[in-house]
Amino acid sequence: MTYKALIIDDERRTRSLLHNMLSRMDLNLSIHQDGESVATGLEAIEKINPDIVLLDIQLPDGTGFDILERIGERDFQVIFITAHEEFAIRAIKNSALDYILKPVDKNELEKAVNRAIDHIQKSSNEVEKYDALIDNIKNNIRKLVLRTSESLYIVDIDSIMRCQSENNYTMFFLDDGRKIVTSGTMKNYEESLSYSNFMRCHRSHIINLNYVVRFDKNDGGSIVMKDDEQIPLSRKFRDKFFQLLDKLA
C-alpha cells in the first residue's frame, strides 16, 4: 500500500528538505508539498485526501491548529513540524500527538512517519486526539489524553487527584473515583502536569495540591489526600511541598 504524505509549511526550503528526506526513506510514500498556508493547506487536504500530514504551526494566515479546527472529517495522521514553542509543544504532548522540532532530524522524522503508518495499519481513530488538542489550545491546556490497552480517555487535568507509578505503568486517580492505568513511566507525564498545581512528592507519586487534606507528621510524615490515601513525602521534596502549600493558602 502506498501512503499519501502531505507537507504544509510556509517555507519553500523546509518543504523541499522534508520532501527529500521522505523520498530517501524505504517507505511506500507518495509525497505532496502543496500547502504553504491555512487556505492552501485546507485545499490540498481536500484535493489529495492524505494519510499523513506534516504540519507547520506558524503559517502566514494562521496556524496549523486552525487547519485542524476547520477541517471536516479528520481521518489522517498528523506530525507537527515546529520551532520550539512551549505552549504549542505542551498542547501537542497533552493530546498525545506527534511532533518534531526544527531543524528536522532525519532519524526523528523517520521514526515519526513509521509511528503514523503503524497507527494507520491499526485503524486507530485519531479524532479524539485532535479534539483534545483544540480544547487545549482554546482553554490553555486543560485536558490530557490517557491511552490504555483498550481505550483512549480525555480527562480534565484538574480532575486528576494523583498519579502513582508501578513498574512501567502509571495509575491516574480521578476525583470521580475512577482509576486509569496507562503504559509508560510517570516521567512521561510529569512535564505535562508541571505547570499546574501538581508536584512530585516521592519517586513513585505525583499529587495535585488542590486535593491535599492534611499532612501527618507520624512515621516520617505523609500526605493525606481527599480519597483518604496516605502518600509518602520524600525528604528531598519536603521544602518544596510546604512552600507550595503556603502559596495556595
Of 137, 168, 198, the residue that ends a domain is: 137
Q: Is there a contact between 57 and 64 (Cβ–Cβ < 8 Å)?
A: yes
Query: With the CA atoms of 63, 65, 66 and 69 taken in that order, what torsion angle do they form, in degrees rounded to the nearest 10?
Result: 180
State the average pLDDT over residues 26-45: 93
Per-residue confidence (pLDDT) for residue 125, from 0 to 100: 61
For residue 51, give the nearest of 19, 4, 9 by alpha carbon.
Answer: 4
Question: Which long-range contacts does 107-115 make (Cβ < 8 Å, 24+ apart)?
Answer: 109/18, 109/21, 109/22, 109/79, 110/21, 110/25, 110/27, 112/79, 113/5, 113/22, 113/25, 113/27, 113/29, 113/52, 113/79, 114/27
**Is there a single domain that holds both residue 130 and residue 7?**
yes
pLDDT tens digits, one per residue of 93-106: 767 678 898 899 99
Residue 195 has pLDDT above 70, yes or no: no
Of 137, 167, 183, the residue that ends a domain is: 137
Residue 92 has pLDDT above 80, yes or no: no
Q: Is there a contact between 31 and 3 (Cβ–Cβ < 8 Å)?
A: no
3-state secondary structure of 172: strand
Q: How many domains is the chain built from?
A: 2
pLDDT tens digits, one per residue of 200-242: 999 999 999 999 999 998 777 899 999 999 999 998 998 988 8
Top pLDDT among 62 and 22 is at: 22
CB burial string 74-97: b at 16+ within 10 A, e below: bebbbbbbbeeeeebbbbbbbbbb
**Is there a single domain that holds both residue 75 and residue 89?**
yes
**Is there a single domain that holds both residue 158 and residue 115?**
no
Question: CATH number of the domain that 16 lies in?
Answer: 3.40.50.2300
Residue-by-residue DSSP string for 84-139: --HHHHHHHHHTT-EEEESSPPHHHHHHHHHHHHHHHHTT---HHHHHHHHHHHHT
**Overall pTM > 0.85:** no
Residue 124 has pLDDT above 70, yes or no: no
Top pLDDT among 184 and 50 is at: 50
Alpha-carbon distance of 121 to 57, in angstroms, equals: 26
Per-residue confidence (pLDDT) for residue 3, from 0 to 100: 93
Q: Say if residue 232 is preceded by a cis peptide, omega within 30 of 0.
A: no
Q: Is there a contact between 31 and 7 (Cβ–Cβ < 8 Å)?
A: yes
Question: CATH number of the domain that 177 lies in?
Answer: 2.40.50.1020
**Is there a single domain that holds both residue 188 and residue 133?**
no
Q: In the chain, what percentage of residues exceed pLDDT 90? A: 46
Other C-beta atoms closer than 10 Å to the C-beta of 237 total: 18
List the domain range (segments joined by +) for residue 82: 3-137
**Is there a single domain that holds both residue 149 and residue 124?**
no
**Is there a single domain that holds both residue 147 and residue 133?**
no
Alpha-carbon distance of 229 to 171, in angstroms, equals: 14
**Is there a single domain that holds both residue 19 and residue 60?**
yes
pLDDT tens digits, one per residue of 236-248: 998 988 888 877 7
**Is there a single domain that holds both residue 47 and residue 169?**
no
**Is there a single domain that holds both residue 8 and residue 129?**
yes
